[in-house]
Amino acid sequence: MRRLTLAVVAAGTMTAALAAAPALAASGLDLVTHGKPGAMPACAGCHGLDGAGRAASGIPRIGGLDATFMRRQFENAMTGTRDNSVMVPIAKALTPTELTAVTDYYAQQNPPAVAEDVPADAVARGQRIAEHGAWSRGVPACTLCHGVAGMGIGTQFPRLNGQVARYIQAQLEAWQAGTRHGDPIGLMGGIAGRLSKPEIADVAAYFAALPKLPDLPAVAPAKPAQAVPAAGDIFTPPPDSAIPNNEFGDMVRLGLNIFEDPQRYAPQYVGNPLACRNCHLDAGRLANAAPMWAAYVKYPAYRAKNRHVNSFEERIQGCFRYSLNGKAPPFGDTTLLAVETYAYFLATGAPTRTEMKGGGYPKLSRPAQPMNFRRGEAVYAARCALCHGDDGQGQATKAGAPGFPPLWGDHSFNWGAGMADIRNAAGFVKANMPLSQGGSLSDQEAWDVAMFIDSHERPQDPRFAGSVEATRATYHDEDTSMYGRTVNGVALGSTPLQPGY
């Protein structure tokens, strides 16, 4: 009787699973399992039924990859954008319907995450680049686009976590050599070109090992094979490896953790998915991206923004209140102390009360032509939407972890944030956007796109003075803030003030 019940339940579950499977899945499974006799081998022969791939042969893990991403790779192979002699005849053998069926099938697989057996020292070296980048050479952290732990973001930035090392290595080398193209806005070609062959191998090892990261040895900061552009008189903060192993170091590390992941380490003060590092690149180290070492030595200072002398801690409060659209941690709170201590650590050796070269964002000269919404919209579509989304909403990982920050809308920084001032946004964009392509926009493009970004609604200014008009008059610059204006029929600044302010 008991056994019978279980069998019925099991049968029911199976039926439900079959019923829930999309109509095309059967056809996909058939193609994957049997191929097309005489025209195309079975996909599973190389990639496996679950798409796990084969590490030893360098055959990629495709199970669980985004279906759109996979179809784009077929297209690239067929157009020659991607040099792949193995896949081209297969792509040609599939009808569009069949191609969709196969890619949808593999997108729905979830092969076990297998950690490849790669040398721990290579993994440790690769981790530095993958998670921290090599910003001085224009290499952002891989995880900025490929998501936390390389889990992938959207249809353009595939999962790297658990990918086959030999495959990652071969692709980076192909981009470096110019035999693979089709990367959106040329991102991977540029980045791979700035990595050495050993660094490529290290990064590949890291992602391959990620599903079960080994105990990593201490590793010195990456020594690039290529010459690093001379930093000139730009200040160099100490490396993370210089954080001491004592109570002070614990506070520095807490600050770094808050800086990189405030949702986890200071959730009570954060009201959106942004992180400090979104505006302060390279975890607050990068010159011309508001580096924290330059900010630290600048305070206490008078700020026109609130018309009094601000301590560094009050300045940090502003970031939480405006940029993170949250609550200011109270004075004396460990959150403030930790971020301050992290900035203090980064400023080791920097001269007190000095205007540091590369501090803040570059101040661009006013644009030659008046800023223009339509021109900015075109720049946005061409260079920004890939990561920040067509409607500025940003992109999260599949698991919901913060990925690319929203630039407007309910989940972005609010109208009181520094980035809501077009001057700051234009300077930041010019110097740093798109990631790895800083300086590629003209000044005019930077102004136009910054104005376009600022021409969308976002959370209310917490300094709200009773009316949008009054708030604009008191806190917003005449021609570098769109707050209070009507753009494309939207009255900017009309969002209700967040409860609790």
Residues binding a copy of itself (CB under 8 A): 246-248, 250-251, 293, 296-297, 299-302, 307-309, 311, 313-314, 330-332, 337, 340-341, 344-345, 347-354
Q: Are 275 and 260 in contact (CB under 8 A)?
A: yes
Nearest distance, CB of residue 350 and a copy of itself, angstroms: 5
Beta strands in 150-285 (DSSP E): none
* CB closer to a copy of itself, 167 vs 259: 259
Enter the DSSP assignment of 323. I
CB closer to a copy of itself out of 27 and 311? 311
C-alpha dist (Å) from residue 221 to 210, 218, 266, 339: 20, 10, 28, 23
Closest CA to 238 of 315, 296, 310, 317: 296
Least distance in Å: CB of 344 to a copy of itself?
6
3-state SS assignment for residue 36: strand
Could you give the count of Cα atoms lying within 13 Å of 382 in the half-sphere of its Cβ?
Answer: 12
Residue 129 DSSP symbol = I
Rounded CA-CA distance 89/39 in Å is: 8
Minimum Å gap between C-beta 300 and a copy of itself is: 4
Torsion on CA atoms 425, 427, 432, 438, rounded to nearest 10: 130
Spatial contact of 379 and 429, defined as CB atoms under 8 Å apart: no
In contact, 211 and 114? CB cutoff 8 Å: yes
Q: Nearer to a copy of itself by C-beta: 171 or 341?
A: 341
Q: DSSP labels for 288-307? A: TS--HHHHHTT-SEEETTTT
CB 59 within 8 A of CB 53: yes
Please, which residue, 244 or 370, has the CB nearer to a copy of itself?
244
Least distance from C-beta 302 to a copy of itself, angstroms?
4
Give the number of other Cβ atoms within 10 Å of residue 10's Cβ.
10
**CA 481 and chain centroid, separation:** 26
Token pair 């004592």: residue: 246
Nearer to a copy of itself, 340 or 461 (CB): 340
CB of 256 to a copy of itself, least distance (A): 14
Q: Could you please report the per-residue DSSP string of 51-65?
A: ---BTTTTBPP-TT-
Compare residues 299 and 464 and give the one whose CB is closer to a copy of itself.
299
Instruction: Give dist(CA 482, CA 373) in Å, integer.
Output: 11
* Residue 217 or 239 with smaller CB distance to a copy of itself: 239
Task: Tell me the closest approach of the beta carbon of residue 444 to a copy of itself, in angstroms.
Answer: 35
Structure tokens at 174: 């192909």
Distance CA 203, CA 413 (A): 33
* Nearest residue (CB) to a copy of itself, 7 versus 231: 231
Tell me how crowded residue 318 is: count the other CB atoms within 10 A of its CB.
Answer: 19
Taking the complex as a whole, the smallest distance from the CB of residue 239 to a copy of itself amounts, in Å, to: 14
The residue whose two tokens read 């930041």 is 428
CA angle 43, 109, 398 (to 5 degrees): 130
The helix (run of H) or strand (run of E) holding residue 243 is none
User: Rounded to the nearest whole angstrom, what is the least distance from the CB of residue 301 to a copy of itself in the complex?
Assistant: 6
- For residues 159 and 167, give the distance between their C-alpha atoms in angstroms, rounded to a whole number: 13
Distance of CA 53 to the CA centre of its chain: 26
> Residue 350, SS3?
coil
83 by DSSP, 3-state: which? coil
